[in-house]
Every structure is written in C-alpha cells, then in structure tokens.
C-alpha cells in the first residue's frame, strides 16, 4: 500500500443531486475516519469506523449524509440532495490503533453549483 486513496479527486455537481465518494484505507488499518474541511478552516470530524462498525457520527452529519464500510475494507460517503453548503474538501484517514495520529488521503473536493 502506498497510502490512503480517495476517489474522485474533484467532483462538481448540481444542487439537489446525489454524490458518492470512495476511500481505500491502508490495508492493515482497522480504523477509518471521515473529515470535512472548508476554506480557511481545519478539518472537522464527521464519522468513525472500527472495522465495519460505524461507532460515532458527528452532529455535522445530517440525515442527508450516509457512510458505509462493508467488510471493514473500503468506505463510501454519500450525500443526498446536495446543497451549496456541502461544498468542501472531504478527507478520509485511517490508522491501526488510533494512538499516534493517522494517515490522511488527498481528499475529494466537492463543488455544488
């Protein structure tokens, strides 16, 4: 593995459309995180998986957001009925133990027009 992979790198969508992002973590890492970052801000926690179980969701994650991690491998983040306020960089990160920080992917830049 060369690191955490995210796809796509960029996504432009019209307001009201659904979008899905994919994250492939480092293979031996059982913890996976999604963060959101807007311009001039630090990343904000969205949700966390340990293996296939989604153990925590931030209050930032409205009902339009859903995340999955089938079989504890890759993860997807879906946003339904996108709004302009959803425009941001969506970052995925993974770690083995949680201690010592984690490795981030390059992110998916979402623009809602």
Partner 1 sequence: EDQVTQSPEALRLQEGESSSLNCSYTVSGLRGLFWYRQDPGKGPEFLFTLYSAGEEKEKERLKATLTKKESFLHITAPKPEDSATYLCAVQVRRDSNYKLTFGKGTLLTVNP
Binding site for partner 1 (CB under 8 A): 4, 6, 31, 33, 40-45, 48, 55-56, 91, 93, 95, 98-107, 109
User: Least distance (Å) from partner 1 to the CB of residue 78?
Assistant: 20
Any idea what the Cα angle at residue 105 is, between residues 8 and 62, rounded to 5°? 70
> 12 or 16, CB closer to partner 1?
12
| Angstrom distance (rounded) from CA 34 to CA 98 | 14
- Min separation Cβ 69 and partner 1, Å: 14
Contacts of residue 48, Cβ cutoff 8 Å, sequence gap at least 6: 31, 32, 33, 34, 54, 55, 56
CB of 62 to partner 1, least distance (A): 18
């Amino acid at each position: 593995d060369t690191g955490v992979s995210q796809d796509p790198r960029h996504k432009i969508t019209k307001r009201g459309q659904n979008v899905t992002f994919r994250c492939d973590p480092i293979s031996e890492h059982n913890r996976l995180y999604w963060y959101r970052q807007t311009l001039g801000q630090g990343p904000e926690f969205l949700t966390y998986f340990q293996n296939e179980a989604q153990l925590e969701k931030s209050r930032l994650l409205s009902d339009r957001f859903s995340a999955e991690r089938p079989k504890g491998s890759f993860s997807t983040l879906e946003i339904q009925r996108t709004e302009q306020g959803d425009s941001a960089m969506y970052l995925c990160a993974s770690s083995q133990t949680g201690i010592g920080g984690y490795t981030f992917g390059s992110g998916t830049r979402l623009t809602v027009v």
